[in-house]
Amino acid sequence: MGAKIGCHIPAAGGYAAMVERALSIGADTFQYFTRNPRGGAVRAYDGADVQMALQGMRESNMTAIVAHAPYTLNPCAVNPRARSFAQQAFCDDLQRLQEFPMALYNLHPGCHVGQGIAEGLDRLVEFLRDNVPEDCQTVILLETMAGKGSELGGDFSQLRYVIDRVPAHVRLGVCLDTCHVFDAGYDVRDFGAVLDAFDREIGLARLKVIHINDSMNPLGSRKDRHAKLGEGEIGWAAFVTIAREERVAGLPLILETPTPFEERAEEIARLRAAATGTN
């Protein structure tokens, strides 16, 4: 199966417009924010727009999209206001995603803000247990994080802890962000070794999406500043290896690099050529 390559797309204009925008730059998958990362406001539901988007996806063989929760959604918050925003946004997102059977819902595991890692992880387990409906079909992805500040998810074992404790109806996968894991101390320049560690600690079957970003900072820096592929501390060679790695073949590779939209087509084409060995 060829690599599915896409990028983060501005959500403006509705679902059908996003699909069209993704196709116009040669993407066969894409990611969008379910709502403005800074606030809770979300566009009104438009059934006709959703149907048009689904049709556009079917016609173009776009079989996976990634809906990214706002990064202000902190699923392990104890502060009542933050917790109620998290619950409301999460439930509303999941409800809308019922319309998109091919959508994966990407979530940051959150920040423990002083509770400590163990408490934070238990809050996250509770949050998923209490807010994912019994009949939810959407696969929820926990994203690997850089571990800056009180961020959870900077270590594969933390994700494993959560996966092991949620009830059976919560379908959990993992999104591996190359910049984040590198900043957390996993050297993705030896991608095979990172996948081995992932397989040991979480299980490769849980890996559903790769966020493909270079990092502005060195290994283990816990910073989370994305760079364009080949312009950061990870370097281009690693991305060629990732794009050709058998064990992740067919997974959506989503670019979240600081690349202007006008240059996306070129960036995607370059990575696609690397994946197929034509450059």
| Chain positions contacting Fe ion, by CB under 5 A | 143, 177, 211
> Is 262 designated active site?
no
Phi then psi for residue 19, to 5 deg, are -60, -45
In terms of C-beta density within 10 A (0-12 exposed, 13-18 middle, 19 or more buried), how is residue 238 classed?
buried
224 binds, among Zn ion, Fe ion, none (CB under 5 to 8 A by kind): Zn ion
x/- string (CB under 5 A) for Zn ion, residues 193-232?
A: -------------------------------x--------
211 binds, among Zn ion, Fe ion, none (CB under 5 to 8 A by kind): Fe ion
226 is in an annotated binding site: yes
Give the CB-nearest residue to Zn ion: 224
267 is in an annotated binding site: no
Pick between residue 211 and residue 272 the one whose CB is nearest to Fe ion: 211
What is the separation of C-alpha 185 from the centre of its chain, rounded to a whole number of angstroms? 19
- Residue of 211, 264, 267, 272 marked active site: 211
Q: What six digits make up the tokens of 58?
A: 């079917």
Site for Zn ion in 4-23 (CB under 5 A): none
Rg of the chain over Cα atoms, rounded to whole angstroms, equals 18
> Is 8 designated active site?
no
Inter-CA distances, 8 with 71, 91, 92, 216, Å: 14, 22, 21, 19
> Is 93 designated active site?
no
- Residue of 15, 28, 35, 143 marked active site: 143
> Is 226 designated active site?
yes
Separation between Cα atoms, residue 53 and residue 55, nearest integer Å: 5
> Is 21 designated active site?
no
> Is 169 designated active site?
no
**Beta partners for 150?**
none
112 is in an annotated binding site: no
Q: Which segments are annotated as binding site for Zn(2+)? A: 68, 108, 143, 177, 180, 211, 224, 226, 256
Catalytically active residues, by annotation: 38, 68, 71, 108, 143, 177, 180, 211, 224, 226, 256
